[in-house]
Structure 1
């Protein structure tokens, strides 16, 4: 439960926001994002950056692939492959799926074998479970979504999941983490422009959404934060809010222990 600043060298990425990252073995990999306040005509970085966590050196790989973007998701689906979905530029939203093979250093556009597919969006979340990715929420600039979609990486087919339980309100800029077969989401920006601090769980085994009873002091409202799991614990860090009324330390890490939650076939959860 400590933090340290990594002093890195070589092809260090420029400062940016709205990018996405994955970690595999001893490498942290980032792609996309904007390197300055987005203005019409800005060029988005399409290079892939790999940080060797042992040597602390960055490597830049310039490989032809997706159009530069931000607000996309990036998800490991194999020990040497990740996929990106969605995102936006200054005036366009996407719903394409791209795969990158780390061994071949090659992008591939994955064309869905189904006519059904999610709307173009950014600011959604995505997790990988078994042979599929699952996305929730996001925005296309006009609408905020609360739909849940699954993409089968073997059949290459999208399907909108018919969910039971208490589906979270539409949002974008939220974050997600997977523990066993449960996707937890937290926060984000709502339809009314206000930031949220609710926690919800989507149990993949029965496609049911759950809302939580009071489980102790929660992080303040926010969007654009990061969320990750380690064992049974979920960590929330960072983010920002224009609607927060209470001050909060920007470097505070919030931890939620999912072992304390008992699931049932009702819409609510009980803490152990």
Structure 2
């Protein structure tokens, strides 16, 4: 019974995990075997370290060590490579790897394991479990369900709050949120750091914002950060004004936030990178090197390792882009990438995600005339674009949607097609490229909005999606959460087309043939093996038959080989034909899009020509008025000269008449006056 309990999948993992961690040298228990981990290989020890950190701390949020220490770099790489793996999954893998490396470990630390009580009327004995830092906490209760399986429950005295209050799967719910709600907005940026969602900027009633709001996901409480004056760069302390923006990208980098690009009232020539320090509450404009991308908004920015991959967007002149740039966060150097293959058409407001730290996926987006639902993949090693075949419930065309990844699943929420919002929450399995619908909302709700934000958090080892804001005819500031079930995240695995084999998946399937002398048998481990039956008789007649059939068998082998070659050639030709058809269809789609944009540009050009003609008419009228004014000016000058001459003549006559009077008064004879 004890051995069954120890190997049962129903056993709560914390007891067994902390026992295993103590034995491996991580738990810090006084009863642990110190240095036990030293007997493992370096790669196994590093993997155990990463799983331990993932299980006890959560996903790695600390930046990569800058000091050159191979051990610290290896530890960080092991932890960071686990991504958003749930803590319970990390616990399970930790114990599994330890059992594979040292099967007898449990017998040495059996005192750490508490056997579960399977009685429906009894809970576990009162006990305390040792945590890595030496603290203790009550273990969850183990109860029996109707079918006899064991499940974990929380203590009845624990009050569920925050994300813990979400008890329904695969449905969006609006939890009770306290605090001063932010302004309604869309096209803002959102990022998650240490169970807090940070929201920066956005568009509110046509005005850009520059506030920084925080939602504590533990208590679901809003608060606003009082930010200090921004500085020009980390090397400069001179304050600068933080310009309001929208359509930017907000990325969490360690304990800092990075805001990249975005539309502003007075855009710069190149993309700006701003950093917010959560310790000093200060914004800084980071200095970058290399040829920076042109200023833009509506782009996608994806964190891949220690680099940011930027694609597309719309510049300040409303020109759509499909260029590709990479910013190395360690050297802060931009690099423009000239990838091979056919890239996505110019677009903005699309979604991007990275799979296996190698493949960049671009989905949807819009141009001036249409929206897309195409999927493009960029191999970040070969820098080659491809357009794989999508399967399942392919989403409708949309732009302004948001997406997050949970393991190999990419959840897409919201967006619209300039007519209506997208009501379906969909998920893409990035390994099989199969779409499925998680849930559908009804009516004009924030979840069917454009420009909303989406982050993924974790509570009790379960991933929870958190959305905020958006625009669907009105601006929103509501918070909605969704807890995806294993069914919704795994159902797309029923189809079998991995990303790396998406082209091979187009080949026709053939059933493998088996010899008559073979059969299948299932061993005790549930594995299927092939057993070749010995049907060869030892008699001389059988030997003669074998010899006489050698020639025909050789001929049959040759015919089979030739048949396989012909089938391979035919498959290759079919594949090439299918690829050409896809390229032709894509070219036709692009041609239609360009035609629509050309018509739009022609309409704008005709309007500008009409406006130009009107301006020419106005200029001609003004010139005519100017000429009339010049004529009037000349006439005025002539009249002024004539008036001056008339005034001079009048003055002269007055003088002459006044001289004659004085002479008469003096008694001058009239004849003398006449002589004078």
Check if 1:35 corresponds to 2:204.
Answer: yes
Whole-Å Cα distance in 1 between the matches of residues 249 and 325 of structure 2? 14
Partner of 2:587: none
Instruction: Spell out, residue by residue over 1:170-229, the C-alpha distance to the aligned partner (whole angstroms, 9 max, x if none).
Output: 101111122222221111112x52111111122222222221214233111111111111
- Select 2:329's aligned residue among 149, 153, 161: 153
Partner of 2:143: none
**Displacement of 1:269 after TM fit?**
4.3
Instruction: Spell out, residue by residue over 1:208-255, the C-alpha distance to the aligned partner (whole angstroms, 9 max, x if none).
Output: 22212142331111111111111001111111112x6xx77x431111
Would the aligned equivalents of 2:312 and 2:324 in 1 still touch at CA under 8 Å? yes
Partner of 1:62: 226
Partner of 1:17: 186
Whole-Å Cα distance in 2 between the matches of residues 204 and 221 of structure 1? 26
SS in 2 for 1:253: strand
- Select 1:186's aligned residue among 346, 358, 363: 363
Would the aligned equivalents of 2:375 and 2:390 in 1 still touch at CA under 8 Å? no
Partner of 1:252: 424
SS in 1 for 2:431: helix
Matched residues, number:
257
Would the aligned equivalents of 1:46 and 1:62 in 2 still touch at CA under 8 Å? no
Whole-Å Cα distance in 2 between the matches of residues 212 and 176 of structure 1? 15
TM-score by length of 1: 0.87
Q: Cα 1:26–1:67, aligned 2, differ >3 Å: closer, same or farther? A: same
Partner of 2:171: 2
Check if 1:81 corresponds to 2:318.
Answer: no
Instruction: Spell out, residue by residue over 1:123-166, the C-alpha distance to the aligned partner (whole angstroms, 9 max, x if none).
Output: 00001111111100001133211111001111111000121223
- Select 1:97's aligned residue among 273, 279, 289: 273
TM-score by length of 2: 0.36
Would the aligned equivalents of 2:195 and 2:218 in 1 still touch at CA under 8 Å? yes
Partner of 2:387: 211
Instruction: Spell out, residue by residue over 1:75-120, the C-alpha distance to the aligned partner (whole angstroms, 9 max, x if none).
Output: 1222x11211111135636610011122322212111122x11011
Would the aligned equivalents of 1:77 and 1:131 in 2 still touch at CA under 8 Å? no
Partner of 1:231: 407
Would the aligned equivalents of 1:112 and 1:158 in 2 still touch at CA under 8 Å? yes
SS in 1 for 2:322: coil
Whole-Å Cα distance in 2 between the matches of residues 106 and 120 of structure 1? 23
List, as ranges, runs of 4+ consecutive aligned residues in structure 1 with deviation greater than 3 Å. 90-94, 268-272
Partner of 1:45: 209
Any stretches of 5+ residues in structure 1 without a counterpart? Answer: none
Partner of 1:262: 499
Higher helix share: 2
SS in 2 for 1:137: strand
Whole-Å Cα distance in 2 between the matches of residues 53 and 227 of structure 1? 19
Would the aligned equivalents of 1:19 and 1:31 in 2 still touch at CA under 8 Å? yes
Q: Which has the higher contact order (CA 8 A, sep 6+)?
A: 1
Any stretches of 5+ residues in structure 2 without a counterpart? Answer: 1-169, 231-241, 433-497, 507-676
Partner of 1:196: 372
Whole-Å Cα distance in 2 between the matches of residues 77 and 270 of structure 1? 37
Partner of 1:143: 319
Q: CA RMSD in A?
A: 2.1
Would the aligned equivalents of 1:215 and 1:271 in 2 still touch at CA under 8 Å? no
Check if 1:106 corresponds to 2:282.
Answer: yes
Partner of 1:134: 309
Q: Which moved more, 1:47-56 or 1:212-221?
A: 212-221
Partner of 2:482: none
**Displacement of 1:59 after TM fit?**
1.5
